[in-house]
Chains A and B, each alone.
Chain A
Amino acid sequence: MSTRLATGGRLLNKTCALNFTFNGKRMSGHAGDTLASALLANDQMLIGRSFKYHRPRGVVASGAEEPNGLVGMGEGAKFEPNQRVTTTELFEGLTAKSQNHWPSLVFDLGAVNTKLARFLPGGFYYKTFIQPRAFWKHVYEPIIRKSAGLGKAPKDRDTDKYEHFYAFVDVLIIGGGIAGLQAARAAGQAGAKVLLLEQTAHWGGRAPVDGGTVDGHPVEAFIENTVSELQAMKNVTLRNRTMGSGVYDHGYVLGYERVGDHQPGAAGPRHRLWRIRAGQVIAATGAIERPLSFAGNDIPGVLLASAIRDYVVNYGVSVGDRTVVVTNNDDAYRTAITLKKQGLIVPVILDARAEGGGELALQARELGIRVENGKAIAKVKGHKRVTGVEICAQAGEGAVLEEIDCDAVAMSGGWSPVVHLWSHCGGKLNWDEANAMFRPDATRPPTGADGEGFVSAAGAANGALEIQELLKDADAAGKAAAKATGHSPKRKAAPKGEAEIETPMQPVWLMPQGAHVKLRMKSWLDYQNDVKVSDIQLAAREGYESVEHAKRYTTIGMATDQGKLSNINGLAILSDALNQPIPQTGTTTFRPPYTPISMASIAGEARDECFQPLRKTPIHAWHEENGVYWEPVGAWRRPYCYQKPGESIDEAVNREVINTRKSLGLLDASTLGKIIVKGPDAGRFLDMLYTNMMSTLNPGRCRYGLMCNENGFLMDDGVVAKLDDETYLCHTTTGGAEVIHGHMEEWLQTEWWDWKVFTANLTEQYAQIAVVGPMARKTLEKLTDEDLSAEGLSFMGWKDYTLDGIHARIYRISFSGELSYEIAVRASEGRALWDKLMQAGAEFDVTPYGTETLHILRAEKGFIMIGDETDGTIIPQDLGLHWAISKKKDDFLGKRAQQRAHMTDPNRWQLVGLETLDGSVLPEGALATAEGVNANGQRNLQGRVTSTYHSATLGRGIAMGLVFGGPERMGEVLSFAKLDGTDVQAMIVDPIFFDKDGEKQNVR
């Protein structure tokens, strides 16, 4: 059984007990435990089920590479699935639940799949669910969906906080092991601004577990001294619990800080995403031990040798009482020695190498441990827990020589440098034949903005696995990075690391070498996705020879651990099956993040009220207090209508339309774009921007204009007011304000940069209120004695007034066909003016109206709306706006394009009015059908609806649309298809439905 030892546990505070539950069972651990070590201390070996076969699984590793130990943590709003037990720090009250089993962890029905494993080989999904086709939707998919997925998605809203932080450094070092510490010291001493990130809570990485000395002192002393030295340096920052998640272009790196995971309930964010820009990045990310591929290597109790050692040394936890060690290298002997020194039993060390190990092997023998060279595990025995191993010769096919009882197996297949961060942004790798590993190729690094390399690897991540080489390598990397960022490294030798001399490892990709198929079918490569040696071999046989294809066919390396343990072993098996060397097979691409990071940390501050900016007019609060029904227009919120108690939206709109036409309406038009264009060339400039002539406008007057892009398509419209000889105010649509200002600046800066024109976007400087209806003038006259008569301010004129003490600019323009004044005042006085107008208009039954009434009023008048009648493919000529296109001007934006053959095609659909014969409202976007069908068998079309409303004024549906033949077909009846399959008939009419002569807006 796994249990807590009486001694050991250098990371624990044994005076501080912590209670937690696993699947409802109460357990206890110590401060400093990970959830994994605490579970093991409570003899909880079985932690989850595998993805496909639902095989029993326990932890196999002790760090970020753990593939099996995933649990759901927390409850309700704090619930989070797929939390890795090996990287979860234990805290008081932690609750964890196992995943991927039903109905219970111990008795799991899905485990029947393991009996069917013969029928579930690699590519099984692709082969099995093809026929019959109808089965996919009704049989296969529902079953797969039910059994797929590991954790359950949380149901409640996450109540934690998350944030971003931007940091800029010369040298960013990822990994706080001894390599990272030494690199930071070398770079820091050179004066570089250094940030050192460590994903765990502790400094020094696994060096204290592996042992060795630095400059004659135990490595722990080196770590302690270096950390305090670094902490004292002003130019160096150390952040633990922060993972280097991804390396991106131009020195951009994401750091994932788990601020609150270990102290739930504390103030502050749970996670902080560091958005770091670094001159140089050093990946001091260490190495990960590889499993060995033997039958039953996934049974709970089979762990990486380094992990078993970690649990003993760091957490005082023994995984088993009797641990068989199996290895192809010297390092695993350290595990045997550690166990033995703790008084635990190591029945045998199986060294697959015929020649065996070096100094460490000698030490093991001296401790009385039995060592068998050239031997291997044929098969692990046990189901939910290891009960023993069958031993065979590594060179053979698995004939059992001996059976040994044990309750744990420590395996080591050698070490793989963690090259992920080196590779994220394009760093290339070389295959190191002697050590059977991929190492960063320093001559092909990821390159930055200046074309030079900006990432280096240091220490074990660079393939320098032993402390002697490791410290030298890290020191050099730190100095080189400091130099590359303009600093002068000190001429100081690297600290001297010493440890036992290791004899070379020997690659063992399959154990035993000639394992027969029954063994290979039980030799796991990818624990999480249940990929075995036999699956990769099958993929190769079936022609999936590219590593990328084999990966997708078998799903190896595609689980949440992203193949940290399985990639190299899988690659080796594939290479062997293809009979080619590993580098020729290549490797898959490592992509960020290094381990999964929370979605919420990516969102950062962008949630709740900060999810997206909401633009509010100065009158927003009034709308909110008066029954508004909002319509989002870009980032603005505009009133769609205002509902009185008991009123439906339609009723509210009808009331607003009727009252405005009858008496008086008010519209908050503050969102309209307002752009000042000034300078000696302003007129000339606007003549290029608008299709009609603006330069001839007189001060005090307004003119409606159309703007097209160089493709000839209509992009915006609005009223231009001439303020003085060289100053114009251009109104744009609400959505167009920033776009049109940008459009103006683009042409001024990049084409006509010699023209003397300045622009400024004054959209938000003014609140703008439209006072609309027959009583508009009477209302305003209550607020001023100045002349508002037709003589004082005629239609399409503007003038400055003082309205009850507020300076106002009044434009007599109309988008409704009514007598209408648009009043612009400073934004800070917008609400005050609105209140005054409401008061002054009270006797005329003043009716605030929203965008829907605005639309109906304009549609009744046949005015087009950008975004309704236009969609980015419409030219003004399509809309009968020839009158607004100057024939006198040599040039304007879009003119040349409007001469292209397709634009002058008489068959282009033209704008018309539409009236249903039955008075109903045409559906939005309805299509007018024509005789016959097209090549796809669809009905031919001859037009479409662009705007459609119920007109309360006329008591019937009105619409505008683009129709083949357009106005020439006046009086013809078209058939429009409705969604329910029926048709509705509508007659082509003049698009001006109301007050055709414009008497109302032009009233004297």
Chain B
Amino acid sequence: MSDNVSALDKASYEGFVKVEEAGLRGMITLRGDLGSVKIKNAATGVAGVDMPEQGHANSVEQSGLAWMSPDELLVMLPYGDVNAALAQITKHLKGQHYLAVDVSDARAVFRISGAGAREVIAKLCPVDMSQDAFKPGQFRRTRMAQVPAAFWMGEDEAVHIISFRSVAEYVFNLLKNAAAPGSEVGYLNP
């Protein structure tokens, strides 16, 4: 494990919000019929959270499930637990038509926290980040400036962002610039 390094090795920046690369996170792309009980059980079994609704994510600390599309879930768990979880899914879904693959290393995870987190996202993503439109638990796949990204928000209003690993530095720089002191918009967080 000591050899495994995340894209930016937990870089962080303190602006009007705090930006952190969150380190390695276990992630499994699970594709299948999300209506099927077997698939649901396999997913909730390894993630330890309830099945999320369309457009939502349920998460507790490192673990969680995010709804990616009607036939795709993102299973999140501690990095070291991926192989065991994959084995469990494989066992559980034997004979089913599904796909479960480790994508932990293909991703970078960021956390931005502080009162202005919504505004930082609203500078970069074409998404309504106002409190009545985007609530904790919602999961949004979108575009962050020029790259695809997905994010959700915890109850503490911290935003968790997933991007591809190869563009981690670009995403970090975007967030860093958007969080620069003095650039508060005062619109979503008056």
Contacts and interface: CB of A to CB of B under 8 A. Distances in A.
Interface of A: 161, 163-168, 193, 237, 239, 266-269, 272, 275, 277, 605-606, 609-610, 612-618, 635-636, 676, 678-680, 756, 758-760, 762-766, 805-806, 826-829, 831-832
A828 B1 CA distance: 10
B97 to A, nearest CB: 5
Q: Which are the 4 A-B pairs with shortest beta-carbon distances?
A: A267-B182, A268-B182, A758-B99, A615-B166
B4 interface: yes
Given A161-B183, A765-B101, 18 more contacts: A166-B127, A193-B130, A237-B190, A267-B183, A268-B183, A275-B126, A605-B145, A605-B174, A610-B177, A614-B169, A615-B167, A635-B167, A679-B99, A758-B31, A758-B32, A758-B98, A760-B99, A765-B103
B105 A832 contact: no
Interface of B: 3-7, 24, 29, 31-32, 71, 97-99, 101-107, 119, 122-130, 133, 145-147, 164-170, 173-174, 177-178, 180-185, 187, 190
Given A165-B122, A765-B105, A827-B106, A605 B99 contact: no
Contacts of A161: 177, 180, 183
Contacts of B173: 609-610
A679 B166 CA distance: 28
Nearest to B185: A165
Contacts of A635: 167
Most chain B beta-carbon neighbours within 10 Å: one of A237, A615, A756, A832:
A615
30 contacts: A161-B183, A163-B177, A164-B123, A165-B122, A165-B185, A166-B123, A166-B126, A168-B128, A239-B187, A267-B182, A268-B181, A269-B183, A605-B174, A605-B177, A606-B146, A610-B173, A614-B167, A615-B166, A616-B166, A616-B168, A618-B7, A676-B101, A758-B98, A758-B99, A760-B31, A762-B106, A764-B107, A765-B103, A829-B3, A831-B5
B129 A166 contact: yes
B166 A636 contact: yes
Nearest to B147: A613
A806 B166 contact: no
A748 B181 CA distance: 47
A279 to B, nearest CB: 12
B165 A613 contact: no
Contacts of A166: 122-123, 125-129
B4 A826 contact: yes
A610 B171 CA distance: 8
Contacts of B7: 618
A617 B129 CA distance: 32
Contacts of B24: 828
A616 B169 contact: yes
A827 B146 CA distance: 23
B3 A237 contact: no
Contact of B122 (A167, A193, A266, A678): A167
Contacts of B32: 758
B79 to A, nearest CB: 8
Nearest to B188: A167
A602 to B, nearest CB: 14
Nearest to A831: B5
Contacts of B71: 758
Most buried by B among A193, A239, A635, A827: A827
B99 A613 contact: no
Nearest to A235: B132
B185 A272 contact: yes
B14 to A, nearest CB: 14
Nearest to A239: B187
Given A163-B178, A615-B167, A676-B101, A763 B123 contact: no
B131 to A, nearest CB: 11
A809 to B, nearest CB: 12
A680 B106 contact: no
Nearest to A234: B190
Among A161, A168, A613, A805, find the residue whose CB has the most chain B CB atoms closer than 10 A.
A613
Contacts of B101: 676, 760, 762, 765
B105 A764 contact: yes
Nearest to A805: B3
A765 B79 CA distance: 13
Contact of A762 (B3, B103, B124, B127): B103
A761 to B, nearest CB: 8
**Residue among B31, B99, B181 facing the most chain A CB atoms (10 A cut-off):** B99
A679 B125 CA distance: 35
A760 B105 contact: no
B180 A268 contact: yes
Contacts of B125: 166
A765 B106 contact: yes
Nearest to B103: A765
A832 B170 CA distance: 23
Contact of A766 (B105, B180, B182): B105
B167 A613 contact: yes
A3 to B, nearest CB: 38
A615 B108 CA distance: 13
Contact of A613 (B170, B183, B190): B170
Contacts of B147: 613
Given A165-B122, A237-B187, A275-B126, A606 B145 contact: yes
A764 B165 contact: yes
Contacts of B5: 828, 831
A165 B183 CA distance: 11
Nearest to A195: B187
B164 to A, nearest CB: 5
A530 to B, nearest CB: 42
B123 A163 contact: yes
A676 B6 CA distance: 23
Contacts of B169: 609, 614, 616
B124 A829 contact: no
A764 B178 CA distance: 26
B106 A829 contact: no
